[in-house]
Chains A and B, each alone.
Chain A
Amino acid sequence: MSTSDVSRLVLRNQLAELRRLAAWIERWTQEGVPANVSFALQLCLEEAVANVIMYGQIDGEFKIAIELERLGGALIARIEDDGQPFDPTRVAPHPLPSTLKEARLVILASTLCAALRAEWIMNDVMVAIA
């Protein structure tokens, strides 16, 4: 295996495109990527790209480019889009709910992404959003 292996996918800002994203990641991670890392990669990119599609629209159609790179023992994912600027790393962490009534629907994605970021740091997976 080469020390650097890069693949790129360009999606339109439509939810139906998320299935293309999932299939692409599954193919890309079939060899040499543990199943739990593949799952985490799919989850984090699904959350990030779904967020761009649902909330990043300015007017009409725009493109979202995702790049995956294997660099030595690390995986690097980059997301670039022309939607509204948003930095998920600046969202303050929310406490986990302790009752059903407390559980808020709108913070699920950011809660998951924050938890994944913490886990990925331990697993040599990096995500860059531009």
Chain B
Amino acid sequence: MDITTEDLAGGITKVTLRGRLDTTGAVQLELPFNRLATEQRKVLVDLSSVRFLASYGIRVLLVGAKILDGKNGKLVLSCPDPSVAKVLKMAGIDQVIPIFDSESAAIAALK
């Protein structure tokens, strides 16, 4: 699991995840992602390069969203591939974390 961050206009932090967000990948991601959620206020997670997602990966995203929500911040997800989007929907995550098909729509939701 590879994680890179980029500062966008409007105080938005874009987090790009690459690889498999399976149990092993999620364990690697957990600490840096929690730290990032603690330090930032507006986080856009680009899922376009994530090719597999399991429940532990969803858990990491959910914890990050809860951390941000607890301090009036926000986390949104963008551009999951169809299989990953389906897993998010099966777990009901699409009802609690906003998911967008384009980065521009995700950015607009954070402004």
Contacts and interface: CB of A to CB of B under 8 A. Distances in A.
A binds B: yes
Interface of A: 15-16, 18-19, 22, 35-36, 39, 42-43, 46-47, 50, 96-103, 105, 108-109, 111-112, 115-116
A39 B23 contact: no
Given A47-B54, A115-B90, A100 B69 contact: yes
Contacts of A18: 22-24
Contact of A16 (B24, B59, B83, B95): B24
A50 B54 contact: yes
Interface of B: 20, 22-24, 27, 52-56, 58-59, 62-63, 65-66, 69, 83, 87, 90-93, 95-97
Contact of A97 (B23, B24, B54, B96): B96
B50 to A, nearest CB: 12
Contacts of A101: 66, 69
B52 A42 contact: yes
A29 to B, nearest CB: 13
Contact of B95 (A98, A109, A112): A98
Nearest to A119: B90
Contacts of A50: 23, 54-56
A15 B95 contact: no
Contacts of A98: 95-96
A97 B95 contact: yes
Nearest to B83: A39
Contact of A112 (B52, B55, B65, B83): B55
Given A42-B52, A103-B93, 13 more contacts: A15-B24, A15-B27, A18-B22, A18-B23, A19-B22, A46-B23, A96-B95, A100-B69, A100-B97, A112-B55, A112-B58, A112-B90, A116-B90
